[in-house]
């Protein structure tokens, strides 16, 4: 199995939770990745796939916010 595949699947699963949250539910979470999967998920969900894509191994801390179908991913510094 590709070393980043499990993290990609986990990230994709976590993206659905805040996107479905209501105002009454928690809609923010933080996640740590070992790869630049935030960029890959942007390509995956977007409508502008590049001809090539280079996945980098790096520490990435993401804050994921969502509510009622909206979703934002922001890289944050580790606290």
In sequence order, what are the beta bridge partners of 70?
Answer: 67
Indicate whether 37 pLDDT > 90.
yes
At 53, list the tokens.
Answer: 């894509």
> The pTM is what?
0.76
- pLDDT for residue 62 is more than 70: yes
Q: Which stretch of 4-8, 23-27, 32-36 has the lowest confidence by average pLDDT?
A: 23-27
DSSP output for the chain: --TTHHHHHHHHHHHHHHHH--TTS--EEEEEEEE-HHHHHHHHHSS---S---PPEEEEEEEEEEETTEEEEEE----
48 pLDDT higher than 70: yes
Q: What sign does the dihedral 10-15-21-25 (CA atoms) show?
A: positive
| Whole-number pLDDT of residue 56 | 93
Domain chopping of the chain, boundaries: 27-45+57-79
pLDDT at 63: 92
């Amino acid at each position: 199995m590709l070393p980043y595949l499990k993290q990609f699947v986990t990230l994709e699963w976590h993206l659905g939770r805040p996107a479905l949250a209501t105002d009454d539910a928690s809609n923010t979470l933080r996640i740590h990745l070992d790869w630049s999967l935030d960029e890959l998920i942007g390509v995956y969900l977007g409508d502008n796939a590049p001809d090539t894509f280079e996945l980098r191994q790096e520490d990435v801390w993401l804050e994921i916010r969502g509510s009622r179908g909206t979703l934002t991913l922001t890289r944050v510094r580790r606290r």
